[in-house]
């Protein structure tokens, strides 16, 4: 009898020891940032972490270093480790990363993509990888078209209207698509001249260097069109150093960083296309956790309409929403 009781006690102890380990695994969400040093990705993670905590989960961030191969390996390693119940990815390569998504899905682990859809077609948010939990993103073409059309309106009555374009990097499919969209829309108007295209790599210092180099040969600039607020931070410094009064130009960025919101309110910048990173991260975490717990999931969330304000933010939008603050610094 004593031996039986001891065996039962040992069995119960073993069960008690195993339960916390299983619980720990089921309560962890992995966020694979394009780069953990990037302010936008940090804000997205803040949203993931905050919503996960509200729902009883923990979150961890992985640094993708803007390196598609590195990010792919990170996802494989995390999956093999078995320590995470759900994955959220800000993809560096929206096409190549699909293979990693397929491995995660095959292991019955919920996985969501943020900022961009995963697959060869960046014009749609509809799932291109069977079994993906959620796409919480903005179609790059839609936002780029809105930005470019705003430039067209700004350039009315000016001939020529000289434009400089700053994108992230041409190695990224989504940045190439944005650039193609910018050039297509602007190219339909004879009065608009694209003087140069620079790569800012989502970094103010690199954008400063790129803009400084461009201004050595480009003159009489009227518009700076970019997909990232970080680029305009560097561009503004370069323009002032070259003798421009920045408030006289039309500057359009992307991301709705707090620095951009302040600049628009002060009249230095004119617009920013918002992606609302913290809201985006929170919505992605919510869908992944819903999937883990067997609850209904929104498979497609378009951040052009899911944010707290209109996606294209200018002075008029901010005047109507005086309490709005950007969801990230820069």
pLDDT in tens, 60-97: 999 999 999 999 999 999 999 999 999 999 999 999 99
The whole-angstrom separation of Cα 246 and Cα 267 is 9
The closest of 218, 220, 200 to 159, measured between CA atoms, is 220
pLDDT in tens, 309-321: 989 999 999 999 9
Task: Note the pLDDT of residue 6.
Answer: 30
Report pTM: 0.82
The closest of 268, 41, 257, 254 to 145, measured between CA atoms, is 254
The DSSP bridge partners found for residue 162 are: 193
Spatial contact of 154 and 192, defined as CB atoms under 8 Å apart? no
pLDDT in tens, 131-175: 999 999 988 899 999 999 999 999 999 999 999 999 999 988 899
The whole-angstrom separation of Cα 78 and Cα 59 is 13
**Domains along the sequence of the chain with CATH:** 2-138+276-298 (3.40.50.2300), 141-274+311-320 (3.40.50.2300)
Going by pLDDT thresholds of 50, 70 and 90, the confidence category of residue 25 is: low
As given in the structure block, the two tokens for residue 43 are 């804000």
Tokens 């936002």 locate to 143
pLDDT in tens, 172-221: 889 999 999 999 999 999 999 999 999 999 999 999 999 999 999 999 99
The whole-angstrom separation of Cα 256 and Cα 264 is 10
Spatial contact of 280 and 90, defined as CB atoms under 8 Å apart? no
Q: Any idea what DSSP says for residue 143?
A: H
């Amino acid at each position: 009898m004593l031996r039986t009781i001891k065996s039962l006690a040992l069995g119960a102890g073993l069960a008690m020891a195993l339960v916390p380990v299983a619980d720990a695994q089921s309560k962890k969400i992995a966020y694979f940032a394009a780069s953990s040093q990037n302010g936008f990705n940090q804000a997205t993670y803040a949203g993931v972490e905050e919503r996960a905590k509200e729902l009883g989960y923990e979150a961890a961030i992985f640094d993708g270093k803007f390196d598609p191969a590195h990010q792919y390996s990170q996802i494989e390693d995390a999956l093999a480790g078995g320590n995470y119940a759900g994955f959220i990815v800000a993809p560096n390569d929206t096409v190549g990363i699909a293979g990693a998504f397929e491995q995660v899905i095959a292991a019955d682990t919920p996985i969501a993509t943020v900022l961009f859809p995963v697959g060869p077609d960046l014009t749609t948010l509809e799932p291109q990888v069977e079994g993906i939990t959620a796409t919480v993103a903005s179609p790059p073409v839609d936002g780029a078209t809105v930005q470019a059309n705003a430039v067209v309106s700004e350039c009315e009555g000016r001939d020529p209207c000289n434009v400089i374009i700053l994108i992230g990097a041409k190695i990224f499919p989504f940045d190439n698509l944005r650039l193609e969209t910018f050039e297509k829309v602007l190219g339909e108007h004879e009065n608009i001249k694209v003087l140069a295209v620079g790569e800012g790599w989502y970094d103010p210092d690199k954008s400063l260097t790129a803009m400084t180099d461009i201004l050595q040969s480009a003159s009489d600039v009227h518009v700076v069109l970019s997909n990232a607020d970080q680029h305009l931070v560097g561009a503004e410094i370069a323009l002032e150093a070259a003798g421009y009064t920045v408030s006289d130009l039309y500057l359009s960025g992307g991301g709705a960083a707090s620095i951009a919101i302040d600049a628009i309110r002060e009249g230095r910048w004119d617009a920013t296309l918002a992606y609302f990173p913290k809201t985006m991260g929170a919505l992605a975490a919510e869908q992944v956790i819903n999937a883990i717990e067997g609850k209904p999931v929104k498979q497609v969330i378009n951040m052009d309409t899911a944010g707290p304000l209109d996606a294209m933010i200018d002075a008029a939008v901010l005047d109507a929403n005086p309490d709005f603050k950007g969801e990230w610094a820069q």
